[in-house]
Structure 1
């Protein structure tokens, strides 16, 4: 009787281990990369720090940068990746965003690029379609999401390592891990620096009202 009870307990223990392993595999955390994996978004912040650019002269400032299809590598489960591309000073008055697709992007189903003051944010520029078939003509946009001081002033917390606000480009695809093999777009953000009258530079880490 005792031997039969011990055998039954061993069988139950084996079943419990199998059930636990199955649950781990189903959750994709069995240490083998097996099982369903939820789509994720990767944010890359390069170690080099970008300083906000503002000159004392009364002139329009700008930052120009390019986004290539492989600048922000997508992992197998990723549907988007964000990369820091520029930094704007506090209370910069954003005037326009010029953009042009140099080479259309070709992941599996769709591709967009958005701009924001943090990873995955679209508060500077909503998603811009850069997928195969889109026009490569230059576009000049004055009605973008972050026009004026909507996202660079009004008491907002600075995000830039050297003050001001870091700008992130988020590359989003329709199918997880679908990087594509080509794609390049350029962007120019024009802005008026806080260097006139009562609108002055705000120290790193500080906040201020719009001016």
Structure 2
């Protein structure tokens, strides 16, 4: 059971353990081309790696790009486009964050997923994203 601080939607359990955000990204999620807010990391959290499981290959005609970041749009500071082979099923583990996501988060931070494509439009594609983090619960 999570013990969220009033006024925040971030997941934060009081135990000293690794926490995670888990969410699906589909090729046809509403607004996915612009970036969709998924879940929220708590202030002070440190990301220790992200896993991406391509359950169904994304099949746009030319390029398939899945990114995860701290802002909608082109931000890819959790998972960059080159980190995952979106056009093949499989698991990519322990993707290292970049930029501001490398250090403890200054504030609650929403995580966004984005799928962009070129060529013929995709008719399939699903990924499961797991962002692993340690919250700041030092006493």
Please indicate the TM-score interval, normalised by the length of the shorter structure.
0.7 to 0.9
5+ long unaligned stretches in structure 2: 1-7
**Superposed counterparts of 1:190-205, under 5 Å:** 190-197=132-139
What are the Cα deviations for residues 43-87 of structure 1, in whole angstroms up to 9, with x where unaligned?
A: xxxxxxx8101111111110100101111357xxxxx32111111
Q: Which has the higher strand share?
A: 2
Q: What does residue 169 of structure 1 align with?
A: 113
* Structure number with higher helix proportion: 1
Q: Give the alignment partner of residue 130 of structure 1, picking from 83, 86, 89.
A: 86
Q: Which has the higher contact order (CA 8 A, sep 6+)?
A: 2
Name 1:140's counterpart in structure 2. Answer: 93
Match among 56, 64, 67 for residue 14 of structure 2: 56
Aligned residues: 129
Query: For 1:125 and 1:148, how far apart are their aligned partners in 2?
Result: 12
Q: Find the counterpart in structure 2 of residue 69 from structure 1.
A: 27
Classify 1:51/1:73 alpha carbon distance in 2 versus 1 (closer, same or farther; 3 Å).
Answer: closer
Return the match for 2:58 from 102, 105, 119. 105
TM-score, L = length of structure 2:
0.81
State which structure, 1 or 2, has the greater radius of gyration over its C-alpha atoms: 1
For the residues of structure 2 that align with 1:102 and 1:95, how far apart are their CA atoms?
23
**Structure 1 equivalent of residue 68 of structure 2:** 115
Of residues 152, 158, 183, the one that matches 2:125 is: 183
The TM-score with structure 1 as length reference comes to 0.55
Q: Distance in 2 between matches of 1:89 and 1:179?
A: 36
Partner of 1:17: none
Structure 1 counterpart of 2:4 = none
Give secondary structure in 2 for the equivalent of 1:81. Answer: coil
* RMSD of equivalent CA atoms: 2.2
Residue 96 (structure 1) aligns with: 49
d(CA) in 1 for partners of 2:116 and 2:85?
A: 10
- Gaps of at least 5 residues in structure 1 are 1-49, 75-79, 159-163, 198-211
